[in-house]
Amino acid sequence: MTPPTLATLLARPVPVVINPRSRRGAAAQPALDAGLRAADVTPVFVDPGDDLRAALTEVLADAPPLVLVGGGDGTIGCAADLVAHTDTVLGVVPLGTANDFARTLEIDPDPVRAIEQLLTGRIVDVDLGRAGRSAFLNVASLGFSVAVTERLTARSKKHLGPLAYPWATLRAYRSAGAFSARLHFPDGDHPDLELDGLLQIAVGNGVHYGGGNTVSPTASVDDHLLDVYAIERGRLREHLSIARLLRDGSLVEHDRVHHVVTRRVAISTDEPMPVNLDGEIAESSPLTFEVERNAVHVVVPAHSRAARYDG
């Protein structure tokens, strides 16, 4: 797909879908409403009781050239799934707790400033991760991260913001158990891996996850590859040493971490395990993960270094 120019998209009305159930969605509505109308863009505020996917589907039924979507990573992932492989361009307004996809695209965390950047930005193509029938933009994972997600409550995210992630991590670690898994690579680019005593497996499509952690030092949202890593369970001091490497992604070089890059991997576990997709538990193992190349047109700020392989 060849993305259009932003100027041609702004010649038509731009729908803006805001999820009020995201952490900052309701509180930001007055400022967003004023900012959007000043930019000659009319927002559509979804009712808290409405189904978000249905609301997005209704807006996208008219095939708008550009749609701005405000919410957290779960909201943005849902929108990306719906616009994938279409001509509609997605603009991200960060209103969630982690806003990792917005961080990957280098969009300003202030929603009003983000809209200003998007309306003067440029369009690039990014990849979309697929876990079975479900989509993800940042990271899919199973094991410890699922336990963390289960301990992230709406209340903790509202009151603690990004600090809710380390708080939930400490709570989850106390009860985290080990598991075994088999990683099969259908394209034959790696030999199968039989791994025991694991704490977590993660499959990264984007760059950031978990409130600013980095998938790997070389991760990119448009390199057409998945970064797959498996962390072995060890002693507390070993996990603390790994935790210090999460921010820049250098954990993939740790002795207790297995890391490969691939386009497709099938993961099976001894017992079915829930899978976390960008903060939403939506699938379970066994499951095949793959990357859909250049699947989504997105707007990024003019200064953004995201999508460095685009074109």
Q: Which residues are catalytic?
A: 280
Cβ(111)–Cβ(70) below 8 Å: yes
Distance in angstroms (rounded) separating the CA atoms of residues 71 and 24? 8
Could you tell me if residue 211 is left (phi over 0), alpha (psi between -120 and 50 degrees) or otherwise beta? left
The end-to-end CA distance of the chain, in Å, is 10
Can you say whether the dihedral through the CA atoms of 147, 153, 157, 160 is positive or negative? negative
Cβ(12)–Cβ(4) below 8 Å: no
Distance in angstroms (rounded) separating the CA atoms of residues 70 and 91? 9
Give the Cβ contact number of residue 303 at 10 Å.
Answer: 9
Radius of gyration of the chain (CA): 19
Distance in angstroms (rounded) separating the CA atoms of residues 283 and 230? 18
Distance in angstroms (rounded) separating the CA atoms of residues 251 and 220? 16
Residue with tokens 């983000």: 114
Tell me which DSSP letter residue 105 carries.
Answer: T
Q: How far is CA 233 from CA 147, 176, 183, 184, 230, in A?
A: 14, 9, 17, 21, 10
Tokens (6 digits) for 118: 């998007």
Closest CA to 208 of 198, 219, 199, 197: 219
- The alpha carbon torsion through 182, 291, 104, 1 (nearest 10 deg) reads 180
Cβ(214)–Cβ(207) below 8 Å: yes
